[in-house]
Amino acid sequence: MPSIISVSTFNPPYTLDQETTTEFARELFSESFQDIDRLLKVFKNGQIDERHFAVPIKWFETEHSLQEKNDLYIELATTFCGKAIKKCLSSTNEFLNEEVAVSEIDAIVLVSSSGMSTPSLDARIMNEMSFSPHTKRIPLWGLGCAGGAAGISRANEYCRAFPEENVLVVCVELCSLTFQRNDRSKSNLVGTSLFADGIACALVTGDESSLSMKIDKPTRPTVVSSQSTLMPYSEDVMGWEVKDSGLHVVFSRDIPIIIKEWLEPNVRDFLDQNRMTLGQLSSFIAHPGGKKVLDAYVEALHIEEGMTNVSKEILRKHGNMSSPTVLYVLEQIMLEEHEENEYGLMAALGPGFSSELVLLTWKGVH
């Protein structure tokens, strides 16, 4: 089974506390909503203390064209991804006993939904680093919050087909650059309270990869199985609405209700296929889409609230960064000590409406 042997995260340079963003939203939205004070409770109730952004708050005070925002997305995402990749391949204090050279990487799964680039960002990253020119490029766009788990799934499938090879899963979202000053919808207000910027990278290796000799921890998570599920005709639940001014967030208030009704049978069927039960899981690597989403996970799956503690902490410190967020959770889970044959479930929900599930088990390093 393919292994995840290193994970890194990179926080963009500007940190804003929730109080600052609340006052910014009050100034911006007060003319549009008579009950603005009631609506602004979403900032406090979301249990987010701070978030990281690619640009300073002053940048949001003026209007920016789609071209200006997208050009900045390409420039900053390329730079930030390079930093996350270097950190992942040199994590000798966390996961590796020796640095991995970028020339040892055979494929890049590049996940992003908050900007557009052709050639895709992976090509631009390869121009900045000494990757082999024959590195396979597998860009994934439009998966939103489900993208991180989907990237791990696709890397797993690649490494099963090519067990000697190594794949980087790189997730980058600069949600702040999609902010719409003139969008006075409640979806935009909720998005302003919740979304942030983040970058994460995971190194996935096949069973016959030579990099197994560089694993420093006594156990590492391996991918047992994965499942993608699409809810038909649910495009209006979550995603982007593309307009002349850029990407406008679509964020249904019914998401927690949908999770409660739809997720449990989906997860149960997946675990049944793998002859597993929720009670056998020691880790729940849940994408923290928001406080209500995490609460819905607990209620729908009938799990202990403590199973989502790591996800809650990532939400508190970083907000919802879309696709990289689940890898932020995975990094913290992997830093913990795990016994051999422990099981974990990675879960993320995204546009479509869709879910990505990945079953992990920890194996000893031999």
Domain CATH for 9:
3.40.47.10
What pLDDT is attached to residue 254?
77
Give the span between the Cα atoms of 164 and 205, in whole angstroms.
Answer: 8
- Out of 160, 179, 214, a domain closes at 214
How many domains does the chain divide into?
Answer: 2
Closest CA to 245 of 320, 321, 184: 184
Q: Which helix (H) or strand (E) holds 94?
A: none
What pLDDT is attached to residue 227?
96
44, 184: one domain: yes
8 A C-beta contact, residue 69 and residue 240: no
127, 159: one domain: yes
209, 258: one domain: no
Q: Quick one: 252 exposed, middle or buried, by C-beta within 10 A (0-12, 13-18, 19+)?
A: middle
115, 13: one domain: yes
- Out of 191, 214, 237, a domain closes at 214
34, 59: one domain: yes
Residue 277 lies in domain: 219-364
193, 231: one domain: no
Q: Over the stretch 264-320, which tens digit does the pLDDT of each residue have?
A: 899 999 999 999 999 999 999 999 988 888 988 898 899 999 999 999 999 999 999
The tokens for 238 are: 């979550």
What pLDDT is attached to residue 242?
77
210, 231: one domain: no
The tokens for 177 are: 């650059």
8 A C-beta contact, residue 110 and residue 121: yes
Give the span between the Cα atoms of 217 and 5, in whole angstroms.
Answer: 9
241, 161: one domain: no
Three state DSSP letters for 280-344: HEEEEEECCCCHHHHHHHHHHHCCCHHHHHHHHHHHHHHCECCCCHHHHHHHHHHHCCCCCCCEE
Q: Which residues of the chain have pLDDT under 70?
A: 28-35, 39, 42, 181, 183-184, 186-187, 366
What pLDDT is attached to residue 288?
92
137, 241: one domain: no
What is the rounded average pLDDT for all residues in the chain? 90
The tokens for 96 are: 């590796």
What pLDDT is attached to residue 34?
65
What pLDDT is attached to residue 166?
98
pTM of the model: 0.94
What pLDDT is attached to residue 31?
64
Q: Are strands 197-205 and 166-174 parallel, antiparallel or unpaired?
A: antiparallel
User: Which residues are catalytic, by number?
Assistant: 145
- Out of 151, 180, 214, a domain closes at 214
From its phi and psi, is residue 341 left (phi > 0), alpha (psi between -120 and 50) or beta? left
